């Protein structure tokens, strides 16, 4: 039976980082060095693989390498199977395996590192459109992709951008509007995560409803709403109030 295994980018297992190199064993059988049939599934008593590649993220994270493996599971839960031996059949391309934007998830665009262009009518239109739908983004994205992947994927996207956003924004925005900036960034991260997984969400195949927010993000803008006032924040110019916004 075929299963999926994720390992570190260098091919070594995530559990120890040094025990089994799956890339170096393609076409070969790897064995659990501490195999114990009576041991717990989530322990070194087994080597692990999953029936669905997304289930592998329970113990793996991005970036990663991916492999098709085969074997006979000894124990199994909802996410992973435990094996005594695994044959490493072939290495797989993660982007093709997951079918969502894996490369961008590993290297997300950070708007606080971009030099945004001058604000034009397009940006104002996108800001206004985002204002009308931003309240629905968290629930919509959660419902569509929350169960598709595991926490390690979401955390990878978040962690890659949050530290820089915090450092850049906190010194550029008045403390009195920080709560609004926080809410705005939070909503945008949800929109960006939804965009990462848009290719595999059926209802978003024709059109991603939060693409306008992603377009602003990719140009280096963070929309900020304070009461009925609307702003666009950018690295070089800070908060700019939008007339007609």
pLDDT tens string 100-123: 999 999 888 888 889 999 999 999
197 shares a domain with 122: yes
131 shares a domain with 219: yes
Kindly report the number of other CB atoms within 10 A of residue 101's CB atom: 16
Euclidean distance between CA atoms 229 and 216, whole angstroms: 18
**62 or 172, which is more confident?**
62
65 shares a domain with 117: no
Res 201: pLDDT? 93
Last residue of a domain, one of 45, 72, 97: 97
122 shares a domain with 35: no
pTM for the whole structure: 0.86
194 shares a domain with 114: yes
CA distances from 135 to 129, 159, 188, 195 (A): 12, 23, 11, 16
106 shares a domain with 92: no
Residue 153: band (very low, low, confident or very high) from pLDDT cuts 50, 70, 90: confident
Res 152: pLDDT? 78
Euclidean distance between CA atoms 182 and 191, whole angstroms: 14
Of 62-66, 67-71, 150-154, 175-179, the poorest mean pLDDT is in 175-179
- What are the tens digits of pLDDT across the range 55-95? 998 888 899 999 999 999 999 998 899 999 999 999 999 99
- Kindly report whether the peptide bond that precedes residue 70 is cis, defined as omega within 30 degrees of 0: no
83 shares a domain with 107: no
180 shares a domain with 81: no
188 shares a domain with 237: yes
Number of domains observed in the structure of the chain: 2
Last residue of a domain, one of 69, 97, 125: 97
141 shares a domain with 61: no
Euclidean distance between CA atoms 194 and 151, whole angstroms: 14
121 shares a domain with 236: yes
Structural domain boundaries, residue 25: 2-97
Most confident of 30-39, 99-108, 163-172: 30-39
Share the mean pLDDT of the chain: 90
166 shares a domain with 79: no
Residue 245: band (very low, low, confident or very high) from pLDDT cuts 50, 70, 90: low
The dihedral built from the CA positions of residue 37, 43, 48 and 53, taken in this order, carries a sign that is: positive
Euclidean distance between CA atoms 137 and 115, whole angstroms: 26
| In the predicted structure, residue 160 carries a pLDDT above the cut 80 | no
Last residue of a domain, one of 56, 79, 97: 97
């Amino acid at each position: 039976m075929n299963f999926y295994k994720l390992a570190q980018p260098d091919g070594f297992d995530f559990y120890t980082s040094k025990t089994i190199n799956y890339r170096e064993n393609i076409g070969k059988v790897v064995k659990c060095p501490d195999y114990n049939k009576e041991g717990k599934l989530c322990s070194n008593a087994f080597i692990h693989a999953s029936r669905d590649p997304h289930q592998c993220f329970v113990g793996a994270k991005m970036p990663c390498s991916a492999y098709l493996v085969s074997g006979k599971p000894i124990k199994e839960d909802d996410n992973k199977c435990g094996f005594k031996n695994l044959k490493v059949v072939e290495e797989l391309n993660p982007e093709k395996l997951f079918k969502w934007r894996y490369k961008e998830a590993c290297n997300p665009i950070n708007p606080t590192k971009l030099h945004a262009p001058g604000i034009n009518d397009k940006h104002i239109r996108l800001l206004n459109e985002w204002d009308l739908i931003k309240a629905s983004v968290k629930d919509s994205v959660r419902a569509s992709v929350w169960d598709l992947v595991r926490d390690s994927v979401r955390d990878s996207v978040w962690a890659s951008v949050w530290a820089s956003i915090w450092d850049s924004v906190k010194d550029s925005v008045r403390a009195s509007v920080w709560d609004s900036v926080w809410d705005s960034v939070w909503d945008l991260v949800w929109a960006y995560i939804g965009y990462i997984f848009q290719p595999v969400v059926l209802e978003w195949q024709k059109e991603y409803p939060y693409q306008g927010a992603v377009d602003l993000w990719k140009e280096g803008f963070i929309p900020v709403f304070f009461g009925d006032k609307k702003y666009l924040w950018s690295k070089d110019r800070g908060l700019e109030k939008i007339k007609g916004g």
